[in-house]
Amino acid sequence: MIARAANVGERQETCDERADRLWSELMHELRVVLTVVQLLLAFLLAAAFTPAYGQLDHTDRLLYLVCVLSGAAATAALTAPVALHRLVTGLEVKSETVAWASRLVATGMVLLLVMTVLGILVVLRQITGALPALLLAAALALWWAMCWVLPALLLRRRRARERPGGLGSAATAATRGPRTAWPWRTRRRAGPTVSAAAGVLRGQAARVRPNGAADGRGRAAPRHSPVPGEASR
């Protein structure tokens, strides 16, 4: 089976090859994200043993606690794909493994955003005060989200505009063949489609079966009685 993605041009690859490529790309992305999480979490854990930690008030300590817990949760989510891959290796579920790993990485990145914003908020509260620190942290969170989400939204929007004509036209899709974003969906839907088509063909064969021909169970179909007067003819 050849799977074509909507954004890979003329690339042709099987479902297993596509799953292997997506997994390799995901591992490269994890190396970048895990490095950031490790650095920030190490700094946060070390800050609790410094003399400055004793000068924090109750609110700052609560923010610091949520920040550390978010970092620990992000580490768990970002390392979960490796454990998942180890536990299901050999079960021939690579495509589903890639899908679950993508969800875990997205969750870990959200937790990374929470940890970073809260950590900077605690620092800014000691420098500028409560209200300016809150405004600056909110602006930082907005900028962070824009850097992560806005380019992807613009690319998706441009791709949606190109689909009615040009690269996404019906003629181009017909020449390039079917495109599937997730290859395992094609595998799951192929069975019911073939069964439905077989049922339609059996129904058509039953309607055009001649008199006296055997049906699917090996029994002879009943003959129609002759029209009165036809035998005398």
Domain membership of residue 118 (yes or no) is: yes
Domain membership of residue 149 (yes or no) is: yes
Domain membership of residue 190 (yes or no) is: no
Q: Which domain holds residue 45?
A: 2-176
pTM over 0.85: no
Domain membership of residue 183 (yes or no) is: no
Domain membership of residue 226 (yes or no) is: no
**Three-state DSSP state, 13:** strand
Q: Can you tell me the distance from the alpha carbon of 231 to that of 30, in angstroms, rounded to the nearest whole number?
A: 85
Query: What is the tally of structural domains in the chain?
Result: 1
Helical spans, DSSP H, in 128-217: 130-162, 170-176, 183-207
Integer CA distances (angstroms), 139 to 26, 75, 132, in order:
29, 25, 11
Domain membership of residue 209 (yes or no) is: no
Domain membership of residue 229 (yes or no) is: no
Both tokens of 187, joined, read 């595998």
Run of H or E residues at 113: helix 94-127
Average pLDDT per block of 10 residues along the chain, 233 residues long: 47 83 90 89 88 87 93 93 90 89 93 92 89 92 90 88 58 44 44 51 55 48 50 45
Per-residue pLDDT at 118? 93
Which long-range contacts does 140-143 make (Cβ < 8 Å, 24+ apart)? 141/113, 141/117
Domain membership of residue 113 (yes or no) is: yes
